[in-house]
Every structure is written in structure tokens, then in C-alpha cells.
């Protein structure tokens, strides 16, 4: 509400609202919670009138109101509890009724099956397949299928004309039957009473089959009893089971019923008429059901839920229901009736259920209502106490807001301080390093070159320290962001190897890099951060490694998952790069989540354009003690207190690397063993670039075949990788003897031979023989022989007699550019100017930017000299300007400049404003040229003016980079910069222009 009022007032002052809107805002302002709170507090709660008079009335109304409310809550919850109890009782009663009915239906189905059996095997067969003994035995054996029937019997239909023959065949006469209750009195009695012969009638239904327990009913006429006669007649006319009224069984003294089915001589359709059914009837099957046993069994199955009482009634006569199960109780309290259907539509039954125990006291309703009342009273008390403390709380709030503003200001000041300090240090450092580089290009003796290199190394170390401190500050503030731009991973690794070339040579350490064939050459990501992580890892390895090697490998995570990645067995010296044992690099990624079954969704490359790299740095250094491995990635923590004194460093490189890896949605880990070495591995998700590779592959080497002689497979694989980058096919051999044998049988055709110094050390005397064999195999031109030398020993000691056969010595670490220069020089078509250069091969530096007019704008004269000297080194013609205003005058179209390097922080007019002015001038003249106001000849025959403007600044924060892009700058170069960095940045636009021209 306050925000809305403030926004409304601001818009009102600016004149954007009408009269009605102003009126609404006036009322909203009057009704705002903030003003009413202040008004009520100052006018009422702060006076004695309310505290002594109105407050008591308000408190009384509060208590009375909540007392009535608590009574309503009690009534509502109690009624809800009763409804829930009723629903529970209904659910339990319906469940029992359904189960009782289901079990009764099962027994009914078995009786129907027995009726079909009698019809099939007694009446349909002549002679009958069933007699009394068979029926009794079958009934006894299948009694488990009718657990609810206490007995079964079958009566056959006999006409009066058939009576005499029937009695003669059965050996007994048809007897009269008393009432059903009298007949069932014989149940369980072994002796039968003498009964009279049945009276003369149209037809009879004497019992011919019965269970052994009911043999006394055999020969009794079921039609002689009134109730039995009605049931039989109704059963055969309807074709359904007919139930009797409940009666008490003598044997069990429990209530039961008799279910009667008619047996037909043929199967009748469901639409048969009663007359057809009566004519087709040939007998009657009856079964006695013990209802009390049936309900007892049901309740026994639900023994765990015996919380209700069950009564079963025959309600055929609603005025006089017959109790079939349960004790007689008064119908008081809560109960529920569930209807039952036992197959006879003429008789109705129902189940009545009630809880055994009285409902418990409504403690929940009581406690809830009382609790609500207590809470209301507490709220009233809290409100009373809060009113008295509002003033103090508001004071505390104002104090907290003031502290918050101070903290925010301190954070902003810290960021500004870091940016200012970074800028102020980078600007002079740019001059220092630039002048040192220019000094290195002059004629210096060895001692002077050593001094200059030392000064350069110290300056770069200071810049690196500044970068690490800034990165740590960005990480802590959560402002570190990644860029996404295409870059050549192979070129980045070559640059890193060149960076550590000097240190590896000083220590005699073999340094190598290998990239899998499955990794694309051009990727999209933050090249600088990838370079930073790898540089940190290799820098640490250089510090702590005195002998052996440092091996950088790049693969795809899919290769590890698929098991196609070949991992050298470090336990055997033959399989490592330098012959020293190494740790198993698989342990460095053993805990990565992506290699486990439960892979997080964010680590899976769902897009086909995304690839997941796994990069490892392996060394044979001193290793990390086990007790210190847990704090490796902790900021400002080192293995021991003497590490910083011996090796230097701040201890934040690995922590920054871990944060950068996390930003790339990857993981980082390591494996280390003291006195063996360490292997650091990290993963990173990058994008696959759609553009083709721009890696330089000279045409003169395409299709050539080389032979690499190396006794170590890992090292030979690295050499083959670099040769393949130049388009040269490589064949591998373990030693010189193997090469001689293959030449002898004529299976080897080569253009050049690269022999590792270690492989040649044991076979120096075989080199002349090898050369003679090669000459015989290659009559037209003798292949060149190159010696691959490590920096740990001299390349000529012990090889005086063999050097005459060697065309050139290639020093490791191998890089594509350096290897290309060596091959070109040996083949006679290379430029010797690039013999020691790690830059672009085969081209003279002064011809790269020849004829290009470049404007450099900077208020610092030292930086002007450094930038101008660096660009002139590449053949450019450089013009310097000391201010943004002068740059605007020089870049007013038409002009002669091809590019411009613009400093950002300058007095009077900074680089941002100057760039905007230049872009406005270009847009204006382009628009006028488009509409024909100015002829193309007056604009230098250029239809679209847009000079590339590259920012030069010591600010490395992301906001400065974004501001450069917003002001339509074309690139960004951070200080301190090097000449090659300036060249690479500006060459992008010249290459693009050349391609368009072509």
C-alpha cells in the first residue's frame, strides 16, 4: 500500500494522472495503513483515556466475544465428531453385510451346482449313476465347499399314477410329513418315528437322497407340509431359490433357514414361463443354512474390528421382524441398518449395527474450544503489551534500517575499492610489462635478458595475484558470471604449454597435452575461465614437481561412461609418460555424481549441442599428505605453513577453480599419494560450435606419413596427436630394431621419422643402419629424421656420431605451431623468422598487419607507447590520441583508420561517451548516404561506415564488459595486455573483412 501511494504521488507530480486518478490517490493516501497506524497510536493508545476507560470495555467485549465463539466451536466440532462416528458405523455395517451376502451366495452357487449334478447323473442316465450311498458320500466330501450348510437332501417328483411302481422300486412307501418345525426336530436323532403314509394327491415329492445325518427324512413327502409345499411350488415356478422363515435347528439350537431349488430335466431359457418350468420340474434340492454360524464366522474373520454389535432380522413382515442373530436390545442410541439379499425376493432381511461402547467424551472439542479461548486471551494480552511497546519497536526498526544502509554502503564501497585498486594497479603494470616486452625485443646480452625475464615474471605474478583476489571477491558476492564465445581448445592448450615452457625447462620436467579425437576443435564457453582452471592446476603441479612429467588430457565424459577411455596403469613405469609411477587417475573422478546411478538432472546433457568434457592434470610431484587432503579446496589454506615461504602463492587458486567448475555445471576432484604424485580432474559442460574448425593445417603436409619411434605408448600417443593436427598420418614403433625389421620386409612407406631421444639412447649405433635401410626403401627422396628431446638433459651428449643423420631437434613440450615451424624449416619451405616463436606459423610478424591504420586512444602516455609499440611490431601504422574528443575528430567519416583501441577511463570525455558520439556520426552519414544526400565518392566509396572500436581498460568486472557492449563497442582488452593479445583481438575483424571481400 505504501509503495502504491509513493508511486502515485510521484506520477502525480510528473503530471501523468487525471483528476479522477488524483482524487482516488488522495483517498488512498488518507486511508493508508501507515497513516492510520500512526494516528491511532498517537491519539488513542498513547493516551490515558483509552488505557483506563476504553481499554477495559474493549477487553470485556473481546473476552465475551471469544467465549461465545469457543462455545460455537465446541458445538461445531462435537456435531462433526457425531457425523464422523455415524459414517464410520455405516461403513463398518455395510462391509459386514456385503461379506455376509457374498458368503451366502457362494453356498447358493454350490447348491445350484449340486442340482445340476443330480439332473445330469441321476435323471439323464439310465440306470442312474447316483444312489443314496453315492449321494451321501459326495455330500460329506464336498461339505467344505458349503461351509454354511448343515445338510442337503433331494426329493424327486412322483405323480400319483407312478406312486405304486415308485414305492415298489424303492422298497418303502411315501410317508406324510408334519410341519417343518416338527420335521426338523428329527435332526440329529438316530431313531426315526413311525409316520403315516402320505395321503392321496396328484403328485408327491418324497426324499430319496440325503446326507447320513438326515437319513430319517428319506421317504418323507415334502409336499405334505403346508409351508414346505408352498416353497416347493414357488421354487419350481420361478426357477430361483426359495427361503423359509427362520426356525431353530434342534442339533445346534440356533436359527436357520432352508433354501429350496427346483431340478429340471432339461436346461430352460431365462425367459421360460412358469407353466413350462412346472412341467419340466423333476425334483427339488434343499439345503439347511445355519445363519448364526454364518454371522459368527464373519465376525471371527473381522476379529480385529469387533467394535460394533451386529443383529440380523427377517423383515418380511415389517410389523413383526424375526431376529435371526444377536441379542435383543432396545433401539436406543446410534445404529445403522444395512439391507441383505439372500436370493429370494419374497423374503427381506437386514443387518442392524451399533457400537459396543458409548461414544467417548468430546475431549477434542472441549480442548479446542478452551484452547481457542486461551489463545484469544493471550492474543489480547499480547496486543496490549504490543501497543505499549510500539514506540520502542519502531525505534529499533529505524536503527536496524540504518545499520542495513551502512552495511550496503560498506559492500558498495568494498566493490568500488577493489575496482579502483585494480584499475590503478593494472594501469602502471600495463606500462611496466609492456616496456619490458619492448625491451626484450631489443639487442640484449644474456644477463640483461635474464633480468628482464625476472622482472616480467614478477609483474605477471603480481597481476595474477590481483586477479585471484578479485575473483575471490566476486565469488563471495555472487557476481561471478561466465561468458559464452567460440574458442579453439587445442590452441588454448598450446598457449598454456607455452606459458609453462620456461619453468618446465628449468626443472627438467616433461610437459605434454593430449586431446581425444572425440572432442570438437571449436567449442562455445568461457575460454578465459577454462584457461584459468587449467593454468592453476598445471601451475601447482610445476611448483611441487621436481622430476618426471606433467600430463594434461582432455576427453569426453561419454568415453568414461562407455569404458572406451584407455587409462595408463601407473604402477608400471612403462605405461606412464616419463617412466615414473603415477596415481590411478580413475580415483580422481570416482566420487563424481555423473558416474553414479543417481545422476542429477542438471548434469545430464539433454541437448545434442552440449558436450561434457573431463580434463585431467597428472604429475609425479611430492603428492599431498593424507591429513591435508581434506582442506585442499579451502580458501587461503595450504598444506603446511612452509609452503608459502618455499613455493609462494596465496592458497586460493584451487578454491577459485572449484567455484568456476561449479558454474560450468561440473565437478572437480583429485587423487594423490605422497612421494608418487597427484592427479586433478574436473568436468565442464560446454556447447558444440556449428562453425568449422579454423585450425591451421598447411597443405604441404596433407597425406604425408610419418613414423614415430618411442618406447612409451603414452608419449607416442601425444606425438601422434600433434602430427594429426597438421594432417600427417602417424605410424608407431617401439624401438629402432622394429623399424629396421619392418623396412626389411617392405611394409613401411614413410615421409619422415620422429625418434624420441630415450628410444634412441639404447640403439645409437643402429641409426646409420636405419638410415641406409630408409634410403633403399625410398629411392626418390630420403625421409627427414627428427629427434624429440626432453628438457631434462642435453640433446647432444652421446650423439656426436649420430647427429649427422638428424635433420632437426624438436624440444618438448610439443605444440602444433612449434612442430609446424620445425617441419617447415627442415623441409626447406619454412620461414626462419618463426623459429623461436610460438605464434602463428609460417608468416612474418611484420606482414600480419601491414598497411592497417590503427588509432590508439589513451590519456596515459606510457600505455600509448606500449600499445603503439606492440601493434607496430606486427606491421601496423599507429596513430595516437590523448583524449576522447580528439578521437572523435579523427574518426569522423570519412577517415583512414581500420580499427581503434579506446581507453575507457579518460578525463573530460570517457571512452563510453566517445564511442557513442562516433556511432552517432556513423549512423548519420550512413543514413544520409542511403537517402542520396551524400554521394559515395564523398564518403570514400564506403556505403556502410562502422570502424571496429575495442575497449582498453583495467576494469575486469562484468558490469564494465556489459557497458562496453551497450555502447556498441566491438571488443574488450583488459590491462595489462600483451602484443599478441592486441593482434588477435583486432585480427578478427580484418579476417572477417577479407572473407567478405573474397
The pLDDT value recorded for residue 12 is 39
Beta bridge partners of 612: 685
Residue 259 pLDDT greater than 60, yes or no: yes
Q: Where do runs of H (alpha helix) occur along 778-860?
A: 816-827
- DSSP letter at 568 equals -
Residues 663 and 534 in one domain: yes
* Of 509 and 197, more confident: 509
The Cα 518–Cα 557 span in angstroms is: 10
**Range of the structural domain that residue 917 is part of:** 846-995
The Cα 591–Cα 89 span in angstroms is: 57
* Of 707 and 790, more confident: 707
Q: Helix, strand or coil for residue 641?
A: coil
Residue 819: CB atoms within 10 A of its CB come to 22
Instruction: With respect to residue 933, please indicate whether it lies within any of the assigned structural domains.
Output: yes
The pLDDT value recorded for residue 527 is 86
End of a domain among 327, 355, 383? 355
Sign of the CA dihedral with 304 first, then 310, 314, and 316 last: negative
487 touches 496 (CB < 8 A):
no
The Cα 611–Cα 826 span in angstroms is: 39
CATH number, domain with residue 327: 3.30.450.350
Question: 543-572: buried (b, 16+ CB within 10 Å) or exposed (e) per residue?
Answer: bbbeebbbbbbbbbbeebeeeebeebebee
Question: 426-459: buried (b, 16+ CB within 10 Å) or exposed (e) per residue?
Answer: bbbbbbbbbbbbbeeeeeeeeeeeeebeebbeeb
Which of 254, 327, 339, 326 minimizes the C-alpha distance to 289? 254
Predicted confidence band of residue 857 (pLDDT cuts 50, 70, 90): very high
The pLDDT value recorded for residue 398 is 86
CATH number, domain with residue 931: 3.40.50.2300
End of a domain among 304, 339, 355? 355
List the strands of the sheet with 899-903, edge to edge. Answer: 877-881, 853-857, 899-903, 949-953, 971-974
Residues 935 and 989 in one domain: yes
Which of 862, 887, 998 minimizes the C-alpha distance to 951? 887
Residues 752 and 877 in one domain: no
Phi, psi of 47 (to 5 degrees): -100, 160
Beta bridge partners of 671: 679
Residues 341 and 429 in one domain: no
Residues 789 and 917 in one domain: no
The Cα 429–Cα 460 span in angstroms is: 9
Q: Which helix (H) or strand (E) holds 229?
A: helix 226-238
Q: How large is the average pLDDT for residues 713-719?
A: 90
Q: How large is the average pLDDT for residues 308-327?
A: 86
Residues 851 and 747 in one domain: no
Residues 145 and 281 in one domain: yes
Which of 101, 99, 111, 203 minimizes the C-alpha distance to 152? 111
Alpha-carbon distance values, 535 to 495, 498, 545, 639, 722 (Å): 10, 11, 15, 19, 20
Q: State the Rg of the chain over Cα.
A: 52
Q: How many CA atoms lie within 13 A of 753 on its CB side?
A: 29
pLDDT digits (tens, 9 = 90+) for 726-744: 888 888 888 777 777 777 6
Predicted confidence band of residue 691 (pLDDT cuts 50, 70, 90): low
CATH number, domain with residue 435: 1.10.287
Residues 899 and 855 in one domain: yes
Residues 586 and 509 in one domain: yes
Rounded (10°) angle between helices 653-663 and 527-544: 150
225 touches 177 (CB < 8 A):
yes
- DSSP letter at 572 equals S
- β-pairing, 242-243 with 255-264? antiparallel
The Cα 565–Cα 551 span in angstroms is: 16
Contact residues for 714 (Cβ-Cβ < 8 A; gap 6+) = 551, 568, 575, 576, 577
- DSSP letter at 687 equals E
- β-pairing, 668-673 with 677-688? antiparallel
Instruction: With respect to residue 67, please indicate whether it lies within any of the assigned structural domains.
Output: no
Instruction: With respect to residue 621, please indicate whether it lies within any of the assigned structural domains.
Output: yes
Q: Which helix (H) or strand (E) holds 353?
A: strand 349-355
CATH number, domain with residue 616: 3.30.565.10
The pLDDT value recorded for residue 561 is 85
The pLDDT value recorded for residue 309 is 85
What is the end-to-end Cα distance of the chain in Å, rounded?
A: 64
Sign of the CA dihedral with 299 first, then 304, 308, and 309 last: positive
The pLDDT value recorded for residue 3 is 36
Which of 273, 270, 242 minimizes the C-alpha distance to 180? 242
Our count of domains for the chain comes to: 5
Greatest pairwise CA separation for the chain in angstroms: 151
pLDDT digits (tens, 9 = 90+) for 263-301: 988 888 888 888 888 888 999 998 888 788 778 877 777
End of a domain among 355, 372, 396? 355
Q: How large is the average pLDDT for residues 218-228?
A: 85
Instruction: With respect to residue 462, please indicate whether it lies within any of the assigned structural domains.
Output: yes
Residues 124 and 250 in one domain: yes
Q: Helix, strand or coil for residue 810?
A: strand
CA 762 to chain centre: 55
pLDDT digits (tens, 9 = 90+) for 8-56: 333 334 443 445 445 554 555 555 545 555 555 455 444 555 555 777 7
554 touches 565 (CB < 8 A):
no
Residues 301 and 229 in one domain: yes
For the ranges 124-133, 363-372, 663-672, 929-938, which has the lowest average pLDDT?
929-938
Q: How large is the average pLDDT for residues 409-418?
A: 75
The Cα 85–Cα 82 span in angstroms is: 5
Residue 994 pLDDT greater than 80, yes or no: no
Instruction: With respect to residue 238, please indicate whether it lies within any of the assigned structural domains.
Output: yes
List the Cα angle 212/185/209 in 5-degree steps. 30
Phi, psi of 15 (to 5 degrees): 80, 30
Phi, psi of 288 (to 5 degrees): -95, 125
The pLDDT value recorded for residue 322 is 86
* Of 808 and 846, more confident: 808
Residues 383 and 424 in one domain: yes
Q: How large is the average pLDDT for residues 560-573?
A: 66
Q: Which helix (H) or strand (E) holds 73?
A: helix 55-118
Instruction: With respect to residue 28, please indicate whether it lies within any of the assigned structural domains.
Output: no
Q: Where do runs of H (alpha helix) occur along 619-735?
A: 643-647, 653-663, 713-725
Alpha-carbon distance values, 563 to 637, 667, 674, 713, 721 (Å): 36, 19, 28, 19, 21
Instruction: With respect to residue 808, please indicate whether it lies within any of the assigned structural domains.
Output: yes
357 touches 334 (CB < 8 A):
no
Instruction: With respect to residue 568, please indicate whether it lies within any of the assigned structural domains.
Output: no
Quote the mean pLDDT of the chain.
78
* Of 183 and 986, more confident: 986
pLDDT digits (tens, 9 = 90+) for 745-768: 666 677 788 888 887 776 666 767
Residue 605 pLDDT greater than 60, yes or no: no
The pLDDT value recorded for residue 250 is 59
Amino acid at each position: 500500500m505504501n509503495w502504491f501511494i509513493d508511486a502515485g504521488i510521484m506520477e502525480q507530480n510528473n503530471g501523468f494522472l487525471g483528476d479522477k486518478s488524483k482524487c482516488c490517490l488522495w483517498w488512498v493516501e488518507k486511508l493508508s495503513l501507515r497513516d492510520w497506524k500512526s494516528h491511532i497510536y498517537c491519539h488513542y493508545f498513547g493516551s490515558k483515556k483509552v488505557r483506563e476507560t476504553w481499554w477495559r470495555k474493549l477487553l470485556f467485549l473481546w473476552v465475551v466475544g471469544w467465549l461465545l465463539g469457543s462455545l460455537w466451536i465446541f458445538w461445531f466440532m462435537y456435531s462433526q465428531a457425531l457425523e464422523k462416528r455415524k459414517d464410520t458405523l455405516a461403513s463398518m455395517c455395510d462391509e459386514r453385510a456385503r461379506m455376509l451376502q457374498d458368503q451366502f451366495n457362494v453356498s447358493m452357487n454350490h447348491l445350484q451346482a449340486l442340482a445340476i449334478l443330480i439332473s445330469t447323473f441321476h435323471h439323464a442316465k439310465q440306470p442312474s449313476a447316483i444312489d443314496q450311498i453315492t449321494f451321501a458320500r459326495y455330500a460329506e466330501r464336498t461339505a467344505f465347499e458349503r461351509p454354511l450348510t448343515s445338510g442337503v437332501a433331494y426329493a424327486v417328483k412322483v405323480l400319483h399314477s407312478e406312486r405304486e411302481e415308485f414305492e415298489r422300486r424303492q422298497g418303502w412307501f411315501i410317508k406324510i410329513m408334519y410341519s417343518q418345525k416338527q420335521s426338523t426336530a428329527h435332526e440329529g436323532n438316530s431313531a426315526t418315528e413311525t409316520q403315516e403314509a402320505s395321503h392321496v394327491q396328484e403328485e408327491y415329492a418324497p426324499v430319496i437322497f440325503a446326507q447320513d445325518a438326515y437319513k430319517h427324512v428319506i421317504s418323507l413327502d415334502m409336499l405334505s407340509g403346508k409351508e414346505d409345499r408352498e416353497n416347493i411350488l414357488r421354487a419350481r415356478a420361478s426357477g430361483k431359490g426359495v427361503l423359509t422363515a427362520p426356525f431353530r435347528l434342534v442339533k445346534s439350537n440356533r436359527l436357520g433357514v432352508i433354501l429350496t431349488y427346483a431340478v429340471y430335466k432339461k436346461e430352460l431359457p431365462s425367459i421360460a414361463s412358469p407353466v413350462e418350468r412346472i412341467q419340466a420340474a423333476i425334483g427339488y434340492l434343499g439345503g439347511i443354512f445355519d445363519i448364526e454360524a454364518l454371522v459368527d464366522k464373519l465376525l471371527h474373520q473381522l476379529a480385529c474390528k469387533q467394535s460394533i454389535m451386529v443383529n440380523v432380522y427377517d423383515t418380511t413382515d415389517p410389523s413383526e421382524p424375526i431376529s435371526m442373530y444377536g441379542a435383543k436390545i432396545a433401539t436406543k442410541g446410534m445404529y445403522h441398518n444395512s439391507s441383505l439379499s439372500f436370493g429370494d425376493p419374497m423374503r427381506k432381511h437386514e443387518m442392524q449395527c451399533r457400537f459396543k461402547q458409548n461414544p467417548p467424551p468430546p475431549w477434542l472439542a472441549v480442548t479446542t474450544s478452551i484452547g481457542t479461548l486461551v489463545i484469544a486471551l493471550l492474543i489480547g494480552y499480547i496486543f496490549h503489551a504490543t501497543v505499549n511497546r510500539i514506540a520502542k519497536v519502531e525505534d529499533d526498526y529505524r536503527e536496524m534500517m540504518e545499520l542495513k544502509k551502512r552495511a550496503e554502503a560498506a559492500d558498495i564501497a568494498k566493490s568500488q575499492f577493489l575496482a579502483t585498486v585494480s584499475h590503478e594497479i593494472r594501469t602502471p603494470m600495463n606500462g611496466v610489462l609492456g616496456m619490458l616486452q619492448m625491451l626484450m625485443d631489443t639487442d640484449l646480452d644474456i644477463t640483461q635478458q635474464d633480468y628482464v625475464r625476472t622482472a616480467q615474471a614478477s609483474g605477471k605474478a603480481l597481476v595474477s595475484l590481483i586477479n585471484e583476489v578479485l575473483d575471490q571477491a566476486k565469488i563471495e558476492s555472487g557476481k561471478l558470471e561466465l561468458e559464452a564465445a567460440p574458442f579453439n581448445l587445442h590452441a588454448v592448450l598450446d598457449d598454456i604449454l607455452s606459458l609453462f615452457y620456461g619453468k618446465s625447462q628449468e626443472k627438467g620436467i616433461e610437459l605434454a597435452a593430449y586431446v581425444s579425437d572425440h572432442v570438437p576443435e571449436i567449442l562455445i564457453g568461457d575460454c578465459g575461465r577454462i584457461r584459468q582452471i587449467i593454468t592453476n592446476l598445471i601451475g601447482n603441479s610445476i611448483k611441487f614437481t621436481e622430476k618426471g612429467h606433467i600430463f594434461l588430457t582432455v576427453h569426453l565424459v561419454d568415453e568414461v561412461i562407455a569404458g572406451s577411455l584407455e587409462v595408463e596403469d601407473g604402477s608400471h613405469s612403462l605405461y606412464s609418460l616419463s617412466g615414473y609411477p603415477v596415481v590411478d587417475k580413475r580415483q580422481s573422478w570416482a566420487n563424481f555424481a555423473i558416474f553414479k546411478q543417481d545422476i542429477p538432472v542438471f548434469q545430464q546433457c539433454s541437448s545434442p549441442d552440449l558436450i561434457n568434457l573431463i580434463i585431467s592434470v597428472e604429475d609425479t610431484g611430492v603428492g599431498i599428505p593424507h591429513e591435508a587432503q581434506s582442506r585442499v579446496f579451502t580458501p587461503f589454506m595450504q598444506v603446511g605453513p612452509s609452503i608459502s615461504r618455499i613455493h609462494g602463492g596465496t592458497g586460493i587458486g584451487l578454491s577459485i577453480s572449484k567455484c568456476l567448475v561449479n558454474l560450468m555445471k561440473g565437478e572437480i576432484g583429485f587423487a594423490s599419494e605422497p612421494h608418487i604424485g597427484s592427479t586433478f580432474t574436473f568436468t565442464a559442460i560446454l556447447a558444440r560450435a556449428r562453425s568449422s574448425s579454423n585450425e591451421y593445417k598447411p597443405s604441404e603436409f596433407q597425406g604425408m606419413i610419418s613414423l614415430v619411434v618411442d618406447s612409451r605408448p603414452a608419449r607416442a600417443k601425444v606425438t601422434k596427436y600433434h602430427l594429426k593436427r597438421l594432417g600427417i598420418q602417424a605410424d608407431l614403433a617401439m624401438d629402432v630394431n622394429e623399424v629396421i625389421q619392418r623396412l626389411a620386409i617392405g611394409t613401411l612407406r614413410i615421409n619422415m621419422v620422429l625418434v624420441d631421444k630415450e628410444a634412441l639412447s639404447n640403439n645409437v649405433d643402429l641409426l646409420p643402419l636405419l638410415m641406409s635401410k630408409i634410403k633403399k626403401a625410398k629411392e626418390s627422396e630420403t625421409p627427414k629424421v627428427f629427434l624429440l628431446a626432453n628438457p631434462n638433459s642435453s640433446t647432444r651428449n652421446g650423439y656426436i656420431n649420430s647427429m649427422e643423420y638428424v635433420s632437426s631437434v624438436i624440444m618438448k613440450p610439443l605444440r602444433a605451431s612449434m612442430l609446424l615451424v620445425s617441419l617447415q624449416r627442415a623441409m626447406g619451405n619454412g620461414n626462419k623468422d618463426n623459429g623461436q616463436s610460438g605464434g602463428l606459423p609460417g608468416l612474418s610478424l611484420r606482414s600480419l598487419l601491414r598497411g592497417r591504420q590503427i588509432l590508439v586512444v589513451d590519456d596515459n602516455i606510457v600505455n600509448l607507447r606500449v600499445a603503439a609499440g606492440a601493434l607496430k611490431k606486427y606491421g601496423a601504422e599507429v596513430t595516437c590520441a590523448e583524449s576522447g574528443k580528439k578521437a572523435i575528430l579523427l574518426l569522423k567519416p570519412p577517415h583512414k583508420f581500420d580499427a581503434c583501441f579506446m581507453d575507457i577511463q579518460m578525463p573530460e570525455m570517457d571512452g563510453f561517451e566517445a564511442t557513442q558520439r562516433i556511432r552517432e556520426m556513423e549512423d548519420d552519414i550512413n543514413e544520409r548516404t542511403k537517402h542520396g544526400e551524400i554521394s559515395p565518392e564523398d564518403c570514400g566509396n564506403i556505403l556502410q561506415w562502422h570502424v571496429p572500436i575495442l575497449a582498453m581498460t583495467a576494469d575486469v568486472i562484468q558490469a564494465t564488459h556489459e557497458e562496453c557492449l551497450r555502447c556498441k563497442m566491438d571488443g574488450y582488452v583488459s590491462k595489462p595486455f600483451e602484443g599478441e593479445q592486441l593482434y588477435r583481438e583486432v585480427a578478427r575483424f580484418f579476417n572477417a573483412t577479407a572473407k567478405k571481400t573474397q
